[in-house]
Structure 1
């Protein structure tokens, strides 16, 4: 996916001024990839939709300033932070984090499962940094440089996370 940062910056600015048409265009342009990212993090469709709505409401009310040069990375980072805050709140309230559903249990059978389930299972076994880097790169189409901006991590580290994560995925999927 390739989103034009200049167009996105323009839509964000107009949306924060409560321009309904710009806000609708912003949602049409970014809603689906942001939802996919949130769903990958939260592992729950309704929860991802709720966080997406919360994020867009914050944009509508102009609650956050964004860097004009990197509006897409900023938008991804804002949504990711909302998701992480929601996960922390859920953990504080004693609810089981959704990620634990992917942990291996003794005697758990994976034969005959669909390839997408196997991939999700293996992604769930990666550490969060590697998993997020791979999801951002391959599900959301972010370049290495966009991931650097999104995660505020050095380029070499991002490349290592992706390379090592892909190696671990390959090993997991071939077992």
Structure 2
């Protein structure tokens, strides 16, 4: 049985996703990231197709998202690659839709996704849709800087309270307050803009 030990030494255990990400961050080797990204390409394509409703645009998005990862993963430490990639892909598609001034409706995406991309108030009333989008952009600019930053990091970049606190230096207890007050102020401002 000693001969089995010889073969065991030659077997290289596959790296975990966290190890692959760390290896990419230290080396910058796009091939390492490509190996990590490849198993998720079908998921990214399906997600992009759900939002963009165009096969060619979705294929392009898969490549553009990879190019985005090449840059972002050099500085971001990601704990759960799959869920982070899902968020990055969804946000990429939403920005594409925003650029085209096309909007995702509840019919086009399941309610779980729609809820996560819409800033909502206590009654779960979406703060923006087609008519409210321009008002939202205007109103974001009127928020105090701390509220605006907290809202953007929480809803657009999908960071948790702890990450927002670390990135901004805000006390953790203040982050929730900034987000809640920011939502309330946005709702009031949007309603005023709609009545004009």
Larger Rg computed on CA atoms: 2
Bigger relative contact order (CA 8 A; separation at least 6): 1
The TM-score range, normalised by the shorter chain, is: 0.3 to 0.5
